[in-house]
């Protein structure tokens, strides 16, 4: 098993070789990695499971398309991430995290934040 430092270098190498990489919006970039732990819940929240901040780089793969993305949050059913390109609902992707684990995702939503940055939500699939 690779040590954590090696896993991060593998993701970094894949990130540099990706077709496109997400650029964080300037106001968000300053504090993006500072948030940790459970996300605040709202009284009208209709989600089945609580979300937790998960801030870091990941790789999104579909066929020969490879994108460098930033993860934002995770729950038991899905994950939020920032993509450099618009993704369509119901598309199937593989998300590779720095710990070496790969998850199959179905895109549920995607909205534009700024140039080269789309806020997406995906649900884990089998």
Structural domains of the chain, ranges and CATH numbers in brackets: 4-33+48-124 (2.40.10.220)
Q: What is the mean pLDDT of the chain?
A: 85
Q: Are strands 102-114 and 92-96 parallel, antiparallel or unpaired?
A: antiparallel
Q: What is the pLDDT of residue 35?
A: 75
Among candidate residues 82, 87, 107, 104, the one with its CA nearest the CA of residue 95: 104
pTM of the model: 0.83
Is residue 7 scored above 70 in pLDDT?
A: no
Sequence-distant (≥ 6) Cβ neighbours of residue 39 within 8 angstroms: 50, 51, 52, 53, 73
Per residue in 29-47, pLDDT (tens digit) is: 888 878 777 766 665 556 5
**Comparing C-alpha atoms, which of 7, 13, 26, 11 is closest to residue 71?**
11
Does residue 117 surpass a pLDDT of 50? yes
């Amino acid at each position: 098993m690779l040590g954590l430092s090696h896993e991060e270098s593998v993701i970094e190498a894949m990130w540099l070789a990706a077709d496109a990489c997400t650029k964080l919006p300037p106001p968000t970039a300053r504090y993006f990695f500072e948030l940790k732990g459970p996300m605040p819940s709202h009284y009208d929240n209709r989600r089945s499971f609580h979300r937790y901040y998960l801030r870091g780089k990941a790789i999104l793969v579909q066929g020969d398309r490879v994108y460098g993305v930033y993860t934002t949050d995770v729950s038991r059913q899905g994950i939020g991430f920032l993509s450099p390109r618009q993704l369509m609902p119901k598309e199937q992707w593989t998300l590779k995290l720095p710990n070496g684990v790969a998850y199959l995702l179905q895109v549920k939503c995607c909205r534009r934040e700024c140039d080269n940055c789309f806020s997406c939500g995906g649900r884990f699939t089998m």
